[in-house]
Chains A and B, each alone.
Chain A
Amino acid sequence: MTVGTLPNDVGCLPHTERQVAPVSYTLQCPKCHAMMRTYNRNGIQIEQCDGCRGIFLDYGELEALTRLEGQWSQPALPPPPYAQPGHYAQPGYAQPAWGHGGHGGHHKHGGFARMLFST
């Protein structure tokens, strides 16, 4: 189907020149009958008419583009909470706000062993 006329740059999706380089001429525009170029924008194939700049989207591509745009416009997701193995994932074994966040290495040689036994 043809979804009206969109600006050349779809939404605010980031892309590179390499990604928008035309890959082939395969379709004729159903509106003005000029040739359409196929572009790859962020992994999604779209066809754009050289004449009227209309864009042809295959089934599911509009949803895919909307989803992608939503990801980029939302703030970054917080990192997943630190998961500790087995029953140690209980709250009591959590780190303080300023904690290391890792599993904790066991530095048998040198420093850590000395630290266990000295002031």
Chain B
Amino acid sequence: MDPAVAVRVHLAPAQTGALTEPGGIDADGIEPELLAGMARLARRLRPDGAGGPLTVVSRRDDRLIVRCGTVVLKAHVPTADPAHLAARLHFAARPTPHPVLLAPLELPPGPGTYTVRIGAHQVSAWPAGASLGTQDADAAPWEQTAALLARLHRDPVGRPELATLPPATVLRRLVDRVGRLRRHAAHPLAAPVLAAWATLSETSPPSPPPAVRPGRPATVIHGDWHFGQLVALPEIGWRFIDVDDLGLGDPAWDLARPAAWFAAGLLPVQLWARFLDTYTESGGPAVTDRDDPWPALDLPARALTVEYAATALVDHLDARHRDADARPADRPDAHHAHTGLDEVCLAFVDACARIAGTAGDASQS
């Protein structure tokens, strides 16, 4: 399928509105120096005045993304390792005949400069594209993303990358969320999730699986792929964004989310088949036995399932405890333990129960 066709389809005004609407996300609490510095950087990059006012696109975990006309600026988390971030940005920027990643813009004084420091943050700059949202769920580009993942995973890893690229960051939230879930260990839904967590390693206490797995291929992987990591640019097509977790790892990690969605019963088999078929037909190395992908995908999919379930449960239970502290007379009893949890969370908790129940089966690797 020609990506350019899809770009035109997905660039409908209604879908880009969220990116261009001024003040879409509240800027309260953001350091004024950071915003001012980002505005200055945008003006230097687009001196023709195409920038216009800054719009906050996203803020989470102490990182900030703003848009200024045709430029998007990202203030990375202050804890980002400068050498690792530089290696990741250089990898995305390197010339390649079949690009997968959106290339960052060169920054002054260039060349080869992809971040500037503003206060505590390293800031990178990117061409603005159209991203997807929940309204695009039915039209999500499964084939295009599978082909891009296969291309990324087939990218030859040269000496410079081996020397500089860190291991990919996978399961960024898992250890934190499981730790927080332990504080709710008495809750009936916490037990299956903690039991599934214990299946992820043979160590005691359990530890998260590494990005590079013994006996598995190691390639460059995105590390945090989902459909929010795709943007479409006119005349260019689909590209992956957000290289903050990119690095060396088992390519199966990039298939772990769809695999977890499918195994939880959330993703229809038709979509799973389109994704898996395109990936394998494009030569993706994560799955070598097309008829039995689970020896490769099982552990990553289980880990993502635990991360999904723990994250949703902790969010829900922490919020409920805050409510209960505020209104002690209104504490929900055990009978209503599931109230307010959405079906997606419950599907992942159910999957965790099945993971714990089948632990030790020969099919699990």
B266 interfacial contact with A, CB 8 Å: yes
Q: How far, in whole Å, are A107 and B264 apart by their CA atoms in the complex?
A: 12
Instruction: Chain A residues near B140: list those with CB within 8 A.
Output: 116
Q: Which of B240-267 contact A (CB under 8 A)?
A: 261-267
With A and B bound together, what is the CA distance between A105 and B271 in angstroms? 11
Q: Does B179 contact A (CB under 8 A)?
A: no
In the bound complex, residues from chain A placing their C-beta under 8 Å from that of B361 are: 97
Contact of B351 among A90, A91, A98, A113 (CB under 8 A): A98
B226 at interface, CB cutoff 8 A: yes
**Of B290, B302, B363, which contacts A92 at CB under 8 A?**
B290
Given contacts A92-B292, A118-B226, whether A100 and B263 have CB atoms under 8 Å apart is: yes
Contact with B along A23-55 (1 / 0, CB 8 A): 000000000000000000000000000000000
Q: Does A96 contact B (CB under 8 A)?
A: yes
> Which one, B5-13, B83-91, B118-126, B341-349, is touching chain A?
B341-349
Chain B residues lying within 8 Å of A116, measured Cβ to Cβ, are 134, 137, 140, 226-228, 261
B36: which A residues are within 8 A, CB to CB?
Answer: none
In contact, A93 and B273 (Cβ under 8 angstroms) = yes
| A119 CB to nearest B CB, Å | 6
A103/B344 in contact, CB under 8 A:
no
Identify B137's interface contact among A92, A94, A105, A108, CB under 8 A. Answer: A108
A104 touches B265 (CB 8 A): yes
The A contact surface, by secondary structure, is loop
Q: Which of A94, A98, A103, A107 contacts B358 (CB 8 A)?
A: A98
Q: Is the CB of A101 within 8 A of B290?
A: no
B268 partner, pick from A91, A92, A101, A104, beta carbons under 8 A? A104
For this complex, 15 residue pairs linking A to B, each with C-beta atoms less than 8 Å apart, are A88-B269, A90-B291, A93-B269, A93-B273, A96-B294, A100-B354, A104-B272, A105-B268, A106-B268, A107-B343, A110-B342, A111-B344, A116-B226, A117-B132, A118-B226
Nearest 6 interchain pairs by C-beta: A100-B265, A111-B344, A113-B137, A117-B228, A113-B134, A98-B354
User: A84-B269, A95-B263, A98-B302 are known contacts; what are 13 more A-B pairs with Cβ within 8 Å?
Assistant: A96-B297, A96-B298, A100-B264, A100-B265, A103-B269, A104-B265, A106-B267, A111-B344, A112-B137, A113-B134, A115-B266, A119-B172, A119-B228
